[in-house]
Structure 1
Amino acid sequence: MAEKDMNAEIRKLQDDFSTLRGDVSEMMTLLREMGAERVEEAKESANDSLQASRERLRRQAASLRTRGRETVDDLEDTIEGNPLGSVALAFGIGFVVAKLLDLGGRR
C-alpha cells in the first residue's frame, strides 16, 4: 500500500513537473514575443524621430537658402544702386587685406 501511495506521489510529481515545464516554455515564448514587440516599437520610435529630424533639417535648409538668396539680392541691389561706392569699398577692403598680408611677410 505504501508503495502504491509512493508511486502515486511520484506520478503526481512527474505530472506537476510536466505542467511546470509547459508553463515555463509558454512563459519563455511570451517573453520572446514581448521582447520582439518592444524591439519593433523601439525601431518605429527611432524611425519616427529620424523622419522628424529630416523634415526639420529640410525646412531649415530651405529657410537658409531663401535667406541667402535674399542677402545676395540685397547686395546686388546695393551694388547696382551705388556702383562707384561698391568699387571703392572693394578696393579699400583689398588694400587692407594686402597690407595685412604684407606685414605678415616682413616679420
Structure 2
Amino acid sequence: MRFAPGDFQSGKNEATNDLVVIALGAPRDSEDVRIPFACPTCDHDGLRIDPSENVTLVCPDCGDEHVPRACPDCGHDDLRAALSECAQPIVVCSNCRAEFESPPLQT
C-alpha cells in the first residue's frame, strides 16, 4: 500500500493469526501522532496526541479533548502506551508498573 504525504494510516488485525507490518518512509516529524485507545465520548478507535504544554488527547472524530491524569495507584505522571502480553494496547506507569486498559483521564 502507498499513502500520500499527510494521509493518516491505521490498521487493525481482526484475524486470529499474527500480522507483521513494515512501514517504510514514515516521516519522523509528523505532528499527527495517535494512540490506539477509544474516545470516551464517541468510542472512535484512536486519539490524537496534542503536544501542547499540557499534553491533551483529542478525538479526531468528535473533537473532544481529554486530559490524562497521574497514575491512580502511585500518583506518578509518567504513563506510557504499550502492548499487553496478548498484544492489546494498555497504559503502563513507568514508576509502579501498574497497567490500565485505557488512559486515566481527568474528569
Per the normalisation by structure 1, the TM-score is 0.19
The structure with higher relative contact order (CA 8 Å, sep 6+) is 2
Per the normalisation by structure 2, the TM-score is 0.19
Structure number with the higher strand fraction is 2
Structure number with the higher helix fraction is 1
